[in-house]
Amino acid sequence: MIGRETLALHGEDCLKTCARAGVEWPCALDLERSDKDVPGEKAVDFSTDEESLSAMFEEIDRQNGGRAKTEAIVTFTGQVRAREEYEIANTTHGTYGIGYGDVGAFAAQLVMRFASKIEVVPPMREEGLKQVQPLTVCEVMQNLKTLNGIPVAIIGVWSSGLETSDLIEDGCDTRIATGSHVWPNAIALPWAGQLAPTPAPHLGLDQDATREKLAYLRQHSPLTAYQNPWEQVHRQKFAVIYGRLETRQRFVEVTTPSGIKGNGFAHLSHAPAQLLIKGDPSIEVLEEATPADSESHR
């Protein structure tokens, strides 16, 4: 997988999830050259064959047709690095591990010695990109375990404030409960860089399915505009957002000085799931609240 800030070797359908320090890491290795100084790691006793890497990049450029992100099947030899202990960082955007590569996203690293057998993976056919059917927040909540780790497009009410950015929906038939804690129908939206899947142009949406679900949301989960204590106006939006869904393998109650909450995601661990997104390219706004929709923030 090659991107602007990412050079990584990843696999599909790993038999086991790599879980360290409470974080589920991607099934991938960060790729690094031998001359890169990595804090806390010893230097390797070989040098990266730059000619083989140059040949790899030239072959990828020849085959990829100018795409910004490229996936290629490549055989690497080298030396693997991994942490003796893993730490985590809790931020307002979620919980992240201190690993390797850009933003410490990988649990292990391969120091490259030689690259060979290069085959670029062709892009999806354009007609295939037009068949993505968005799921509502309620539909996702009913299938969290099934969708965990899977790229998905979700349609809902995009509500953002000073410390939260969520997709929400009112009136779901079922609510997730952990003991006495009842979770909101909310999916947190952290910007996750290379951990997030790359969306197709216009998210590749099935437009008929999108219009049908938007009409449903207008009736059952109407937009509001609200003013926070600092007199800033926030307008909710109907949006479809594409990313990789993450949830917990097991929900637990956590007792804090402010009360009982769950082991969720984002600010105050409020959300039972999060959708890892690349930012603006992952979002398609459909409608925005107007001043006539103003009321107290729900």
How do the pLDDT tens digits run along the chain, 298 residues long?
444 446 777 765 554 556 655 666 677 888 999 998 887 788 999 999 999 988 888 877 776 654 545 567 788 999 999 888 777 666 554 555 677 876 677 788 999 999 887 766 554 444 434 468 899 999 999 999 889 888 899 999 999 877 789 999 998 988 888 888 889 999 999 988 767 787 776 677 888 899 999 999 999 999 987 666 555 667 899 999 999 899 988 888 777 776 667 788 888 888 999 999 988 888 999 999 876 666 544 4
End-to-end CA distance of the chain: 41
Check if the beta carbon of residue 166 is closer than 8 Å to that of residue 141.
no
pLDDT at residue 127, rounded to an integer: 40
At 206, which amino acid appears?
A: D
Check if the beta carbon of residue 20 is closer than 8 Å to that of residue 95.
no
Backbone angles phi, psi at 57, to 5 degrees: -65, -40
Please give the Cα distance from 60 to 54 (Å, whole number): 10
Give the position of tokens 């965990």. 148
Residue 32's alpha-carbon distances to 100, 103, 121, 250, 273, in angstroms, are: 9, 14, 21, 34, 32
pLDDT at residue 21, rounded to an integer: 54
Backbone angles phi, psi at 117, to 5 degrees: 55, 70
Which strand (E) or helix (H) includes residue 218?
Answer: helix 207-220
Using alpha carbons only, give the angle 275, 188, 15 rounded to the nearest 5 degrees: 40
Which of 196, 204, 182 has the alpha carbon at shortest distance from 129?
204
pLDDT at residue 68, rounded to an integer: 47
Q: What is the pTM of this model?
A: 0.56
Which are the contacts of 15, defined by CB distance < 8 A and separation ≥ 6?
A: none
Q: Are strands 273-276 and 186-188 parallel, antiparallel or unpaired?
A: parallel
Which are the contacts of 141, defined by CB distance < 8 A and separation ≥ 6?
A: 172, 174, 175, 176, 185, 272, 273
Identify the three-state secondary structure at position 40: coil
